[in-house]
């Protein structure tokens, strides 16, 4: 009996320590995300003004989309995942921007989900549906596109002008005001 109680106490203490550690990690990640909100970074492996590398991916509803389809529009290419806390913070702002400003600003958002890391299509669909995301959500079934764009942290957003040239790379979540500011800088 004493042995069972001792084991339960040890298990309880380990559980409390683990929960405390996880909670601290989540809080630290949120602080990092808040500190990194909208941090424009130097383009890594891609040059400002270079043409954005073309890609062709499937959407959640099975359509094929290529970046080249959007030539003549400004494009926000956003790399994200459902497991990414800063992505969860950013996505409602992107939807709000898309709903209220994208058509006026001649901007398209292409949200590239890291499907090869993210889990099932059903999980992604539930996330997108829960936020009523109306812009194209593309599925990166392999890491090829993240390697092409040299993304290392998420979310990462590339701002591409109407000529198809990369103008900005932002790591960290963007809010509505920042989305509007970056869109206004694009020609």
> For 106-141, how does the pLDDT look when each residue is reduced to its tens digit (9 = 90+)?
999 999 999 999 978 999 999 999 999 999 999 999
Prediction pTM value: 0.77
Q: Write phi, then psi, for 111 (nearest 5 degrees).
A: -95, 110
Identify the band that residue 18 occupies on the pLDDT scale cut at 50, 70 and 90.
Answer: low
Percent of the chain with pLDDT over 70: 84
Q: For the ranges 8-17, 66-75, 171-180, which has the lowest average pLDDT?
A: 8-17
The count of C-alpha atoms lying within 13 angstroms of the C-alpha of 174, restricted to the half-sphere facing its C-beta, is: 29
Quick check: helix, strand or coil at residue 121? helix
Q: Which residues, in sequence order, are CB contacts of 132 under 8 Å at separation 6+?
A: 95
The whole-number average pLDDT for the span 27-36 is 49
Mean per-residue pLDDT of the chain: 87
The most confident of 13-17, 20-24, 124-128, by mean pLDDT: 124-128
């Amino acid at each position: 009996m004493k042995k069972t109680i001792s084991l339960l106490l040890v298990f309880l203490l380990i559980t409390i320590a683990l929960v405390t550690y996880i909670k601290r990690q989540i809080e630290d990640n949120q602080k990092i995300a808040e500190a990194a909100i909208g941090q424009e970074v130097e383009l890594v492996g891609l040059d400002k003004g270079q043409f954005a590398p073309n890609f062709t991916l499937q959407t959640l509803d099975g359509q094929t989309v290529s970046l080249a389809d959007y030539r003549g529009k400004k494009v926000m290419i956003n790399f994200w995942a459902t497991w990414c806390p800063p992505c969860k913070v950013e996505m409602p702002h992107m939807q709000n921007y898309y709903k209220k400003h994208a058509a006026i600003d001649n901007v398209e958002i292409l949200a590239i989900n890291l499907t090869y890391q993210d889990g099932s299509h059903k999980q992604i669909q539930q996330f997108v549906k829960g936020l009523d995301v109306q812009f194209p959500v593309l599925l990166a079934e392999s890491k090829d596109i993240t390697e092409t764009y040299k993304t290392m942290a998420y979310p990462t957003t590339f701002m591409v002008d109407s000529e198809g040239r990369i103008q900005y790379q932002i790591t960290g979540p963007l809010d509505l005001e920042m989305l509007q500011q970056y869109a206004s800088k694009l020609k």
